[in-house]
Structure 1
Amino acid sequence: MLSRVANSIYWLNRYVERAENVARFVDVNLNLLLDSPGVIQQWQPIVITTGDLPLFQQRYGEVTEANVIQFLTFDRDYPNSILSCLRLARENARSIREIISSEMWEQVNSFYLMVKDVANSGLKTSELPEFFEKVKMGGHLFSGIMDATMSHNEAWHFGRMGRFLERSDKTSRILDVKYYILLPSIKDIGTPLDEVQWMALLKSASAYEMYRKRQQHRITPNGIVEFLILDREFPRSIQYCLSATERSLYQIIGVTQGMKKHPVEKVLGRLCSELDYLTIEEITHTGLHEFLDNLQTRINQTGEKIFETFFELQPIEEQRLNNYQL
């Protein structure tokens, strides 16, 4: 497969998944507002977890609900806004029309146009929950269409690898939102407000019902953290997403799992192995934020190694040397 094609389908999936998860970031606060009227909303944590707070402050200055929603949702010049992500997804899909199914193209195209129309017409605050629900459903629909209409070949595995690597990163950042919300109000830990905030986080990750079925007890911070990080069956948990990424990686490389020859195999394999044996007690001992910060760094390193292994153009002599070493 051409590296250009692999790169495009990988990023097509990453951008669609990113758009969906940005909607989930904002949903953390919107759910909290709906579940606990009168609670002071904190919008800065949402921007902090994107890693783009300096850019936001440069562009918008004051952290307000309107500014944060505009920045994360409709800002055409911010590359990680929902609108920008879907525009980039659409451009990648356009470049590989001969590889993807017509249904995939139609979905990503209509998805982008829907968000673009809303950006041009504007939204009332009361209409935001419904809009973000449409964005999340648009992401689900694209994933389902890809899995149902595209041959599960090498190209599909590149797309799947991009989707799950992006999802693992964003699940960690959704958890980090809770950490930052707690910073100014440590006294609230263990109170009914604290439980409402954790419930809002679960709902934003589409995990509330599955968590209750899995845990079968009251909501606890450790139970939620363990579920969203270490659960092997929930498709939005970090453990599940990284394991799915690794499985697709081995399908692409075409070697037996455990025979690590490429740097990306080593980086991702080490991370998955550590998660296999990690316990919630070890995460708590390390500190949730510190653990998540390190995890995000290592997920980014995995993305860099994927780029170096599959997408980066190498001089012909270097390619020959690498092939000889293999």
Structure 2
Amino acid sequence: MLSRVADSIYWMNRYVERAENVARFVSVNQGFSLGGHGGVRAQWKPLIEASGDEQLFAEHYSEPTERNVLEFLIFDERNPNSIRSCVLAARENGRMVRETLSTAMWEALNRFYIRVREATDSREDILQRPHQFLGEVNRLSHHLLGVQHATISQGEMWNFMRLGRLLERADKTSRILDVKYYLLLPATNDVGSQLDAVQWTALLDSTSALTMYRRRYGIIVPNQVAEFLILDRSFPRSIHHCVTGAERAVHDITGVSTDYFSNPAEQYLGKLRYELTFLSIEDVISQGMHQFVDSIQVRLDRISEETHNTFFSRPSQQQTQAQSQ
């Protein structure tokens, strides 16, 4: 497979996953705000923090009001991580490799793109009542993933799709956890309060984990929530599950056994998966949740960088000359 084709497929899936994740945690936060919990800063600024776009937001908006944050995260084309920007980028990446996609997948991607483009024309209504549109984004993303599973052969292209989706998903789960532990509750007297319980429930809901968590644990216990979202091996949005799946995808692409590594992407994924496998939630708490999550984000960024260097970047002229000698 050509590196440019693999690159487009990988990023098409990352952008779709990113749009879905943004829609989910904005929707949950909207409901949380309607419940009257906390002030403006407590409810909307953390969403900007979670996206990692604080500086960009500050350049264009005076304060993190509900309307400003919704505009920034849903429609703002200056924000490369807004839902609109992500869906447009996903569609453009899909268009560049149209011949490799199934007809059903291309049609599903176009429906997603058209719906988001149409939403821009009614942005004022959506900004006032965003819940329905955000639900549509989630459903269109799930539909696209289902079509992908049903119509794409599970070969090299499939694994680049899986790799992009799972790396993005692991990153977003870690960021949402960071919001809860480090940004939403800076005051220790809030821990264990009714507000604390509501926020833990919202955290699970924002990762589509509430139902599965309750089936396994029942009541909301903070350490168990963190354990479920970080270390659970079967829940599809836990960090451990995503890293394990991404590692398998890379090894399926290269054909190298998971007992070995042939490139830095495999090496860093293998090391992270190994550490998560033998980690306990007590180990995480003892080193500090924010510190742990921050280190996970740094390592995921490194894995993304090495994935690009290994599979997508063109060799330099010096490398090409050295290989030909």
Fold in common (TM above 0.5): yes
Deviates more, 1:125-134 or 1:104-113: 125-134
Deviates more, 1:233-242 or 1:121-130: 121-130
Distance 2:317 2:258 in 1: 28
The equivalent of 2:86 in structure 1 is 85
Shift of 1:8: 0.5
Distance 1:61 1:323 in 2: 56
The equivalent of 2:237 in structure 1 is 236
Matched, 1:128 2:127: no
Distance 1:38 1:262 in 2: 48
Shift of 1:320: 7.7
Shift of 1:185: 3.5
CA contact (8 A) 1:45 1:180 kept: no
CA contact (8 A) 1:83 1:115 kept: yes
The equivalent of 2:25 in structure 1 is 25
The amino acid of 1:90's aligned partner reads R
Distance 1:83 1:291 in 2: 31
CA contact (8 A) 2:50 2:178 kept: yes
Distance 1:323 1:162 in 2: 32
The equivalent of 1:149 in structure 2 is 151
The equivalent of 1:204 in structure 2 is 206
The amino acid of 1:144's aligned partner reads G
Q: Number of paired residues?
A: 322
Distance 1:32 1:54 in 2: 25
- Residues 129-153 of structure 1, C-alpha deviations (whole Å, 9 max, x = no match): 2211111111111111111111111
CA contact (8 A) 2:70 2:127 kept: no
Distance 1:321 1:51 in 2: 39
CA contact (8 A) 1:31 1:204 kept: no
CA contact (8 A) 1:267 1:302 kept: yes
Distance 1:80 1:93 in 2: 17
Where do 5+ consecutive residues of structure 2 fail to align? none
The amino acid of 2:199's aligned partner reads Q
Distance 2:20 2:126 in 1: 20
Shift of 1:223: 0.6
TM (normalized to structure 2)? Answer: 0.94
Task: List aligned pairs for 1:51-70, cutoff 5 A.
Answer: 51-70=52-71
The amino acid of 2:296's aligned partner reads L
The structure 1 segments of at least 4 consecutive aligned residues displaced by more than 4 Å after TM superposition are 319-324
Distance 1:5 1:202 in 2: 35
Partner-residue secondary structure (3-state), 2:99: coil
Distance 2:294 2:59 in 1: 24
Shift of 1:188: 1.4
Partner-residue secondary structure (3-state), 1:43: helix
Distance 2:29 2:108 in 1: 28
The equivalent of 1:6 in structure 2 is 6
CA contact (8 A) 2:256 2:262 kept: no
Distance 1:82 1:125 in 2: 13
The equivalent of 1:37 in structure 2 is 36
Tell me which of 185, 194, 210 is aligned to 2:196: 194
Identity of aligned residues (%): 48
The amino acid of 2:8's aligned partner reads S
Cα distance change of structure 1 residues 319 and 285 upon mapping to structure 2, 3 Å threshold: farther
Cα distance change of structure 1 residues 243 and 322 upon mapping to structure 2, 3 Å threshold: farther
Partner-residue secondary structure (3-state), 2:129: helix
Distance 1:3 1:110 in 2: 27
Aligned residues: CA RMSD: 1.8
Distance 2:128 2:265 in 1: 45
Partner-residue secondary structure (3-state), 1:282: helix
Tell me which of 132, 144, 167 is aligned to 2:169: 167
Distance 1:315 1:200 in 2: 47
Where do 5+ consecutive residues of structure 1 fail to align? none
Partner-residue secondary structure (3-state), 1:98: helix
Shift of 1:322: 6.9
CA contact (8 A) 2:234 2:241 kept: yes
Shift of 1:208: 0.5
The equivalent of 1:103 in structure 2 is 104
Shift of 1:73: 0.7
